[in-house]
Structure 1
């Protein structure tokens, strides 16, 4: 996937891809999800699309793509290959920020808009057309987009910070190259100079935290599993010895007391783990996009280590999930024996839900990483 070279681009934009929140068109009327859908559809149909039409530009949202195929691939292609992108940054939607990062990297025309008070801090320094949810404000927003289009068509759209940093150029230094290099000029050959992944240091720090948390989760699962196995052996011995119900109940109560603390700790660990992976998702997708944009021939050993780490983490967290699922199922059956087990069983079930959420997120990273590793290409 490559952006069209300058000589193949039209003199003025013809296609505009609009990225931003869309909402749920199938949500119940009166629900927040349906209200969000109606609002953003109005912004698209009454503000962005008319502003583009004034200059002969056709605007399109992701939900307007008619051709069959992989929606994620289609969106990425439109983000990179469209002549223009208008990005509605209201609420800092992670998918929107990822798509915007790809567009910034290529240094192609983009206009930022967003609802006043709903803009993420990270891009606060970038000039953004702000609007409010009133007819008057939206009409004014359309006019400001028209002005931005007119200025961009006449004078050119200036590269934003990420593209300038990657290309080591200053504003107004001339047209962008066909494709940004993996490193700014002067970094060829590597050495001790920072490479692509050094620009993603925050993501690496986050991965270190994820790795530490996963080790703690695995340890807690092992503790719970050991306790459950011991209790199972004790219960079997009592059953074979014909022990009375009161003796077996006492054994179950001892198990509940032993499980209460580690099960509660496991629930807390997985809750924090799920929150950390969710917080990392946007930056991780951006980092993976940077690695992909570099091209196989320009990726260094650090890139491969980064991708390998994502794959390894995915395998480790799936192994932990499998072990926890088995424990949770076993404990779920046992809680019928005594009310004393209900609290630790609830904690184990909650931990399982949190870990499944994290696995979904990390599985997406690993799938992208596997597609970029050299072995996958061969």
Structure 2
């Protein structure tokens, strides 16, 4: 699986050039390497059977004995399919064009290629070596934990039936399975909920400090206090605001990081749930879906509170230079939360749809 491009696009267009390039990688690198070991390589546009193409792709991603994934450019469809594949724990070989590799899967071993024909030949040989080692010794297990948290993959042998010439699922009794992957996601979601509560608590602290400062400034104004007195009050406010503002930005950064790490795994899990009949999903799935909705609800409350500080941040910074650093931390936290929660809303929307199906 990998980027395909558009064969019907105008010649010379970026879409058609992408089609030609990735077709060349498949025909010159991937297919010959697989053919050497009697493995049939299939691209999405080469599926011969009639039917729903999206369902066919998902089934190939989940059921195929082996997947070679070209992650060049971090194509969203490819990354979604890759997350779906990683949840299965089945063998996956990762390749990508040098300089076009997504940063968030940097911990995964990658075969890099360049567009020059001689260098493509080198990539083909590397894939052949990976196939030979995997068929002989067993493919390295790639679990959701490695994708979601950047952990090292669990070492364990996989086996292939004698004479089959194809890779099969690992038989290691200690290898994590699908439920283990869900536990990893659950743990990450629990940590995100804790982050949300910490953000809410810190926002309340900042709000209380702001109220105190506003009251003090009003009193000074009514008393016609000199500017130096008001500046001293602002300086005290800035000093008291510094620690919670830094804390807010730190927790928001952690929240955003967990979101980015969990995103592909959660989307893959939701894809698997969608493919599972509602009456077979079980209580664990219901809990998982409810957790996504609860997390989104809590985060939306925290975001609405923190956004009010973001709106007034510019005015605060203009009031005194002492407030600039706390305001920068608060503004950065608002931006981080906005970016993260937009993804979370997608999770929750999908979870709500699946929850309705489960309830029925």
TM norm structure 2: 0.66
C-alpha distance in 2 between matches for 1:343 and 1:112: 46
Q: Does 1:19 align with 2:2?
A: yes
CA contact (8 A) 1:47 1:141 kept: no
Match of 1:114 in 2: 95
Deviation of 1:221 after TM superposition, in Å, equals: 0.9
Match among 214, 217, 224 for residue 196 of structure 2: 214
Aligned residues: 304
Match among 102, 106, 130 for residue 84 of structure 2: 102
Match of 1:282 in 2: 264
CA contact (8 A) 2:235 2:323 kept: yes
C-alpha distance in 2 between matches for 1:250 and 1:130: 59
Instruction: Decide whether aligned partners of structure 1 residues 327 and 86 sit closer, same or farther in structure 2, where only a CA change above 3 A counts.
Output: same
Deviation of 1:100 after TM superposition, in Å, equals: 3.1
Match of 1:46 in 2: 24
C-alpha distance in 2 between matches for 1:50 and 1:285: 32
Q: Secondary structure at the match of 2:69?
A: strand
Q: Does 1:350 align with 2:332?
A: yes
Match of 1:338 in 2: 320
TM norm structure 1: 0.63
Per-residue deviation, residues 19-45 of structure 1 (Å, max 9, x unmatched): 2498xxxxxxxxxxx9xx999655413
C-alpha distance in 1 between matches for 2:87 and 2:192: 27
Instruction: Decide whether aligned partners of structure 1 residues 40 and 107 sit closer, same or farther in structure 2, where only a CA change above 3 A counts.
Output: farther
Match of 2:145 in 1: none
CA contact (8 A) 2:307 2:334 kept: yes
Deviation of 1:91 after TM superposition, in Å, equals: 8.0
Unpaired segments ≥5 residues, structure 2: 6-13, 36-40, 46-51, 129-138, 143-157, 165-175
Q: Secondary structure at the match of 1:87?
A: strand
C-alpha distance in 2 between matches for 1:376 and 1:230: 49
Instruction: Decide whether aligned partners of structure 1 residues 105 and 215 sit closer, same or farther in structure 2, where only a CA change above 3 A counts.
Output: closer
C-alpha distance in 1 between matches for 2:356 and 2:159: 34
Q: Does 1:369 align with 2:335?
A: no
Match among 208, 226, 229 for residue 247 of structure 1: 229
Larger mean Cα displacement after TM superposition, 356-365 or 75-84: 75-84
Deviation of 1:213 after TM superposition, in Å, equals: 1.7
Match of 1:70 in 2: none
Q: Secondary structure at the match of 1:242?
A: coil
Instruction: Decide whether aligned partners of structure 1 residues 245 and 123 sit closer, same or farther in structure 2, where only a CA change above 3 A counts.
Output: closer
Deviation of 1:60 after TM superposition, in Å, equals: 5.8
Match of 2:285 in 1: 303
CA contact (8 A) 2:195 2:251 kept: yes
Instruction: Decide whether aligned partners of structure 1 residues 241 and 50 sit closer, same or farther in structure 2, where only a CA change above 3 A counts.
Output: same
Per-residue deviation, residues 55-113 of structure 1 (Å, max 9, x unmatched): 9x99567xxxxxxxxxxx976664447999763145887753430353577999x9856
Deviation of 1:292 after TM superposition, in Å, equals: 2.0
Deviation of 1:207 after TM superposition, in Å, equals: 1.5
Per-residue deviation, residues 214-250 of structure 1 (Å, max 9, x unmatched): 2211111111111011111222232233333333222
Match of 1:204 in 2: 186
Q: Secondary structure at the match of 1:19?
A: coil
Unpaired segments ≥5 residues, structure 1: 1-17, 23-33, 62-72, 147-158, 163-168, 176-193
C-alpha distance in 2 between matches for 1:259 and 1:302: 42
CA contact (8 A) 1:48 1:142 kept: no
